[in-house]
Amino acid sequence: MTKDIKPSPLIEVRGLCNRFGRNTVHEHLDLDLYPGEILGVVGGSGTGKSVLLRSIVGLNRPSTGEIRLFGQNLLALSGARRSRLEQRLGVLFQGGALFSSLTVRENVALPLIEHAGLSRADAEALAEVKLALTGLAPHAGDLYPASLSGGMVKRAALARALALDPDVLFLDEPTAGLDPIGAADFDQLLLTLRNALGVAVFMVTHDLDSLWTACDRIAVLSQKRVLVADTPERVSRHDDEWIQAYFNGPRGRAAYAAAGER
């Protein structure tokens, strides 16, 4: 992505409103995701970060507004056309959401069988490639989720999210629960995959290290909308009280300093 001329967005959110009973989570929210960028989405508790992610991937129908994926209005598409469009998205949910009764290899192969129509043998062979992309050892494919460490769960879930060669990856708190070394390794893996595959990334995270290390832009949710969406440096200079406390408090300053040393 050049700094002078931005390409057309892969995802355009315009005037999004999400209401649950009397509770309004989002109102008149606008946001774009561009090809090849890693966008971090942050905000205080209750600002609807995961709700926004679920709305974009089609798991939550907004009250009003428009969501355009690859130039098409997601909410106006028929079931079959919408399903085809959603297959261009890969999602890593909080906790991984792996099927406990399937091996890691079978978890990754499942979308290839159900959506790409591959035979089980071909799907599992391709699943091995996806697992290797995320840095998992060959023997990991034979394991069940209960036998995996936290870092291995994240990588296995990422491999499944990559199964159908998506154009956009959605990550919901991908480094939550990982130790600092595992989280740093995941950040570097994310950068490697973006650079190698050209995939765009929409990442909900509280991890300041991830924001400074991996993100091209950061979108801050506040007051039921996107308060600012810009480079980490520019966002950190915004005069909003929450942003200042978040990015320029002791942890924020430490994360910024650590990113500068890499």
- Total domains present in the chain: 1
pLDDT, average across residues 143-171? 95
Q: What does DSSP assign to residue 220?
A: E
Gyration radius from the chain CA atoms: 18
pLDDT bracket for residue 55 (50, 70, 90): very high
pLDDT at 183: 92
Containing structural domain, residue 25: 11-261
- Whether 248 and 234 have beta carbons less than 8 Å apart is answered as no
Residue 259 has pLDDT above 80, yes or no: no
Domain contains 137: yes
pLDDT at 4: 56
**Cα dist. 108→118, 127, 164, 172, 254 in Å?**
12, 5, 10, 18, 37
pLDDT bracket for residue 76 (50, 70, 90): confident
Domain contains 98: yes
Q: Largest alpha-carbon pair distance within the chain?
A: 56
CATH of the domain at 246: 3.40.50.300
Residue 153 has pLDDT above 80, yes or no: yes
Rounded (10°) angle between helices 150-161 and 104-114: 20
3-state DSSP call for residue 2? Answer: coil
pLDDT bracket for residue 2 (50, 70, 90): very low
pLDDT tens for 121-140 read 999 999 999 999 999 998 99
Residue 216 has pLDDT above 90, yes or no: yes
Domain contains 109: yes
pLDDT tens for 108-121 read 999 999 999 999 99
pLDDT, average across residues 6-31? 95
pLDDT, average across residues 241-245? 94
pLDDT at 177: 87
Tokens coding 233: 């440096």
Domain contains 3: no
pLDDT at 175: 93
pLDDT at 14: 97
User: Element (H or E) spanning 68, and its range?
Assistant: strand 64-69
Domain contains 6: no
pLDDT tens for 36-45 read 999 999 999 9
Instruction: For the chain, give the mean pLDDT.
Output: 92
pLDDT at 262: 59
CA 189, distance to chain mean position in Å, is 13
Domain contains 5: no
Q: What does DSSP assign to residue 171?
A: E
Residue 1 has pLDDT above 70, yes or no: no
Angle 154-46-82 from CA coordinates, rounded to 5° = 60
**Cα dist. 16→12, 62, 204, 222 in Å?**
10, 7, 17, 14
